[in-house]
Structure 1
Amino acid sequence: MKNKMMLWITLLLISIMLASCSLVGSKAGSIKCTGTSKNVGETPGKSEVVNGASRTEGLIIEFELVSDCPELTGVMKATANYFYDAQLAWGTFYIETAYQGGGRIEGTTDYTRSSDGTAVMSCTSVDSIGSLRGLKLDLTANVPAGAGYLSEVPFEATIQNAPQE
């Protein structure tokens, strides 16, 4: 349960990252956004035991994103692959937004949890289409020890190369 909670937090942070990607401004440049993300749904993945470790692949988690950037709308979906005992996760994510007629951000994420229970998630966009074409996102979020997977998790992100109107 503790490891699943860590995975939820990781995926939540990924959604936050995606949210940040969709928060582009009217001028090309760098934008900083803050907000919260909360888990609102899950589709189970395939789980198995490999060399004594529990492994899950293909878990899909949906997050509701709330941000101080008005351009951010919609629900982010993240697909995760993780090992329970390694306290890490990796996977892909995407977010679709209605901003300026619609767009999609896709990327990859890495998640680790330290011995004190604090989680760090780093995300990087690898593609953006529609009104978000050319966007680059950098997100790192720290999840406090003891935060549950249904908790609202705060995030900060920087969006680079925001498209012009």
Structure 2
Amino acid sequence: MSVRLSPKNRKMSADKKGRVARFIDLPEFNVFIFAVLLNYPWEFLQAPLYRGMATADHWYGVKICTRATLGDGVIMLIAFWAVAAVSRSRWWLLRPDRRQVAGLVAVGVAITILFERLATSSVHPGWGWRYADAMPLLPGTEVGLSPLAQWIILPPLAIWFVRRQLETRAPQLKSDNE
């Protein structure tokens, strides 16, 4: 049995698809999605480097890693927007230069250092974390090397994926949105 749409309903359906396509084509949407996809496995792999995570209840570990991953996605968006502001274009990632990639990494690393320092020194119950003895630390900072490596390795990889995702539509996207 097939459903027939009236011309008015077909137009509304096409309009909805157009809005969804425009949303999916936004650089911010793609930056967030690829940041989440790349950071989620990293969070699980580094979990044993945080106190109590190696022996934590499964569901608790999933919730903690999910929350951390969503935070990573937000940090990536902030870093992306910082570079976009300096570059004066949200579409810089279609042809990123080394300075832009370095800027993205630098903003991500700076935010990570700030959050790691705040979280590992927090005395508030229910907020913060502690490193396990297995976590290597950046000398003189008391910041874990794993979260720093995460923000050096994953942002360029995320930009590579975003660029690949958007470049087939790049001419149309740039003319529609700049």
Greater gyration radius: 2
Structure with more of its chain in strand, by fraction = 1
User: TM-score, normalising length from structure 2?
Assistant: 0.29
- The TM-score, its normalising length taken from structure 1, stands at 0.31
